[in-house]
């Protein structure tokens, strides 16, 4: 395949950015999108040009760092991570726009790389449990209902990529925060901090500048882990419960 990629280039956080077109020839349909960028970067380096900065780590869909907006959609045309997106999703001759995740709380570091540490600070505000130290307890020491275990596991698959934020017109991180609240709130180990967790995480979400949820639903449509929209309802139920009981 021969394609053109128009890539957002920005020298630093305060620099002005612009879309720069690059012709990329002999692209294999089996390459991942990131491998295609690797090839482009090798060619840019050979030509003495500055390679494109983009974030990545596991390249297996589990770390959440490969945050690119491709043709206007976070992670591109498939509901997966950018590292799991393959060039067979595109056609010979295509022109593909590649931009960073855009949201106020995700400042651009360089080119396609943004700072998503605001999500880490939301987790630090409440995404933990208190547990006594010592040897690991037996797996069956604290029974968990199958339904709760399944929903907790589903919520725990959130990889913190931030696609839900990047697609939301409000720049809301509510799907992310609700996944963390739900994951711990459904398990016995998460009960001691349950009431304070939801309030503290939402306060931090506001402090970071994320917008509020107005039930648009784009977040769940681009979430690579399929976190369902109802997860936000679970957070709202926890919040109401916490406020009714006056929090911790
Ligand atoms: S809820 Fe989905 S889109 Fe949002 S951070 Fe988690 S995995 Fe990414
Ligand atoms: S590089 Fe880890 S999820 Fe894509």
At residue 246, the pLDDT reads 64
Name the helix (H) or strand (E) containing 34. Answer: helix 33-46
Kindly state whether residues 155 and 93 are assigned to the same domain. no
Query: How far does residue 220's CA lie from ligand 1's centre (Å)?
Result: 8
Please give the pLDDT value at position 146: 95
> Based on the domain organization, do 19 and 62 belong to the same domain?
yes
The answer to whether residues 95 and 120 belong to one domain is: no
Residue 247 is predicted with a pLDDT of 52
Pocket test for ligand 2, best of 38, 80, 83 (most atoms within 8 A of CB): 83
Mutate to test the pocket of ligand 1, among 179, 182, 220, 226 (most ligand atoms within 8 A of CB): 179
Q: What pLDDT is recorded for position 60? A: 96
Q: Domain for residue 137, yes or no? A: no
Instruction: Report the pLDDT value the prediction gives residue 137, as an integer from 0 to 100.
Output: 79
Ligand nearest to the CA of 164: 1
Mind listing the pLDDT tens digit for each residue in 65-92?
999 999 999 999 999 999 999 999 999 9
Are 240 and 120 members of one domain? yes
The boundaries of the domain holding residue 30 are 3-110
- Specify if 47 maps to a domain: yes
CATH number for the domain that contains residue 174: 1.10.1060.10
85 & 123 share domain? no
Radius of gyration of the chain (CA): 20
H helix or E strand, kind and range, residue 69: strand 68-70
Q: Atom 7 of ligand 1 has which residue's CA nearest to it?
A: 158
Asked if residue 138 belongs to a domain, the reply is no
CA distance 40 to 101: 20
Instruction: Determine the distance separating the centroid of ligand 2 and the alpha carbon of 248, expressed in angstroms.
Output: 37
Residues 44 and 123 in one domain: no
Q: What is the CATH number of the domain that holds 50?
A: 3.10.20.30
Q: Residue 193: how many CB atoms within 10 A of its CB?
A: 18
Residues 122 and 214 in one domain: yes
| Predicted confidence pLDDT, tens digits, the chain (248 residues) | 999 999 999 999 999 999 999 999 999 999 999 999 999 999 999 999 999 999 999 999 999 999 999 999 999 999 999 999 999 999 999 999 999 999 999 999 999 999 999 999 999 999 999 877 788 878 788 889 999 999 999 999 999 999 999 999 999 999 999 999 999 999 999 999 999 999 999 999 999 999 999 999 999 999 999 999 999 999 999 999 888 866 55
Residue found under tokens 């509020």: 212
Task: Check: CB of residue 126 under 8 Å from CB of residue 37.
Answer: no
Render pLDDT for 178-201 as a digit per residue (tens, 0 to 9). Answer: 999 999 999 999 999 999 999 999
**Strand, coil or helix: what is 127?**
coil
Does some domain include residue 134?
no
- Residues having CB closer than 6 A to ligand 2 are 56-59, 61-66, 81-83
Q: For residue 57, which ligand has an atom nearest its CA? A: 2
Domains: count for the chain: 2
Q: What is the Å distance from ligand 1's center to 47 Cα?
A: 37
Overall pTM > 0.85: yes
Same domain, residue pair 80 and 149:
no
Pocket-forming residues, ligand 1, beta carbon under 6 Å: 158-164, 175-176, 179, 223-225, 227
Residue 198 included in any domain:
yes
Give the dihedral of Cα atoms 63, 68, 70, 76; nearest 10 deg. Answer: 10
């Amino acid at each position: 395949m021969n394609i053109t990629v128009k890539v957002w280039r920005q020298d630093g956080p305060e620099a002005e950015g612009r879309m720069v077109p690059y012709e990329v020839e002999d692209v294999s349909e089996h390459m991942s999108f990131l491998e295609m960028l690797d090839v482009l970067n090798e060619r840019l380096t050979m030509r003495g040009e500055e390679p494109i900065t983009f974030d990545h780590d596991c390249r297996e869909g589990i770390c959440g760092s490969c945050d690119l907006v491709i043709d206007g959609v976070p992670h591109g045309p498939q509901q997966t991570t950018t590292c799991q997106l393959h060039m067979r999703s595109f056609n010979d001759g295509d022109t593909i726009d590649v931009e960073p995740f855009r949201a106020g709380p995700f400042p651009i570091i360089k080119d396609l790389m943004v700072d998503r540490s605001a999500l880490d600070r939301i987790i630090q505000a409440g995404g933990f449990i208190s547990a006594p130290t010592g040897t690991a307890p037996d797996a069956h020491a604290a029974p968990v209902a199958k339904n709760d275990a399944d929903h907790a596991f589903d919520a725990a698959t959130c990889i913190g990529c931030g696609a839900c934020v990047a697609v939301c017109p409000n720049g809301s991180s509510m799907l992310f925060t609700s996944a963390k609240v739900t994951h711990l709130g459904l398990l016995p180990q998460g009960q001691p901090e349950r009431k304070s967790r939801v309030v503290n995480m939402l306060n931090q979400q506001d402090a970071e500048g994320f917008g509020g949820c107005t039930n648009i639903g784009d977040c769940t449509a681009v979430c690579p882990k399929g976190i369902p929209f109802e997860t936000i309802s679970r957070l709202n139920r926890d919040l109401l419960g916490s406020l009714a009981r006056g929090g911790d």
